[in-house]
Amino acid sequence: MAKRLLVMGAGGHGRAVADLAAECGWTVAGFTDRVTGASILGRDEDLTALAAAGAMDAAVVGVGNAALDRRAALFQLLKASGIVVATLVHPRAVLSRSCRLGEGVVVFAGGVLGSSVEVGDNAVVYSGVIAEHDCRIGAHAYLSPGVVLCGGVTIEAGAFLGARATVLPNLTVGKEAEVAAGAVVISDVPAGEMVMGVPARPRGGR
Ligand SMILES: CC(C)(COP(=O)(O)OP(=O)(O)OC[C@H]1O[C@@H](n2cnc3c(N)ncnc32)[C@H](O)[C@@H]1OP(=O)(O)O)[C@@H](O)C(=O)NCCC(=O)NCCS
């Protein structure tokens, strides 16, 4: 029998994660969220009680870029609950055998992770992302559809990269930095900074 997965967050990203889970062979038991609804089993804080009631076999964070700042806290809540954390890789993603994934990572269809790539806990690798050899993607980082990381790039914890952003080789995008959709990063991005454009410049610094 397929194992039952609970997804924390019932918004657009949460539903995308639920679809991914189904492709990976899970049965989606339901969601936790702040709002109520047909398939919402409770609030995030109810996780431990839901597990005690046998509602699921594992759980995963499904909150996306609408609430990036909550993703790490939800993961900590999940870890503290003792529930198994699922890692989801779409059957049509392509991962090098030397690539390493942390707990709770989600890799959507068409993701390509090259040789020796390391992906930290709870990171999101959306459809069509390419991370070439030796990239390090930190915990809770969020790579939107079509992001391209050239070889040796470091994405620090909690950083956000918008759709089709590109990062040139061996650069670092700092902790909780944001890279706008379509930007081409040609130099290191300091922690917490937002950059945009081609070449990418700090917001307001054009
Ligand atoms: C960078 C981003 C977060 C900024 O959002 P925001 O704070 O709402 O910014 P605004 O839309 O108010 O735009 C602010 C300025 O930045 C510019 N700008 C916004 N996004 C830009 C982009 N991707 N590239 C270049 N310039 C951009 C705007 O034109 C505007 O310029 P102005 O001040 O000269 O008028 C957003 O535009 C973005 O790129 N988000 C990524 C979305 C995405 O990829 N989601 C994937 C989810 S799966």
Binding pocket residue ranges, ligand 1, CB within 6 Å: 65, 126, 144-145, 162-163, 178, 180-182, 196-197
Ligand 1 centre from 179 Cα, in Å?
Answer: 9
Give the pLDDT confidence score for residue 204 in this predicted structure. 74
Choice from 127, 166, 196, 203 to test ligand 1 binding pocket (greatest atom count within 8 A of CB)? 196
pLDDT in tens for each of the 206 residues of the chain?
679 999 999 999 999 999 999 999 999 999 999 999 889 999 999 999 999 999 899 999 999 998 998 999 999 999 999 999 999 999 999 999 999 999 999 999 999 999 999 999 999 999 999 999 999 999 999 999 999 999 999 999 999 999 999 999 999 999 999 999 999 999 999 999 999 999 999 987 65
**pLDDT digit string, tens, across residues 163-199:** 999 999 999 999 999 999 999 999 999 999 999 999 9
- How far apart are the C-alpha atoms of 34 and 42, rounded to whole Å? 8
Q: Is the sign of the CA dihedral 17, 93, 98, 129 positive or negative?
A: negative
Which DSSP letter does residue 65 get?
Answer: G
Give the pLDDT confidence score for residue 140 in this predicted structure. 98
* Domains defined for the chain, CATH in brackets: 4-86 (3.40.50.20), 87-191 (2.160.10.10)
Count of other CB atoms within 10 angstroms of residue 54? 9
Ligand 1 atom 11: residue of nearest CA:
180
- Using only the alpha carbons of the chain, give its radius of gyration: 17
Residue pair 68/124 in contact by the 8 Å Cβ criterion: no
Ligand 1 centre from 86 Cα, in Å?
Answer: 32
Give the pLDDT confidence score for residue 2 in this predicted structure. 76
Ligand 1 centre from 191 Cα, in Å?
Answer: 18
Give the pLDDT confidence score for residue 14 in this predicted structure. 97
List phi, psi (to 5°) of 42. Answer: 165, -170
Ligand 1 centre from 101 Cα, in Å?
Answer: 30
Give the pLDDT confidence score for residue 1 in this predicted structure. 67
List phi, psi (to 5°) of 68. Answer: -55, -35
Q: Which residues face 106 on adjacent strands?
A: 88, 124
Place of tokens 């503290």: 80
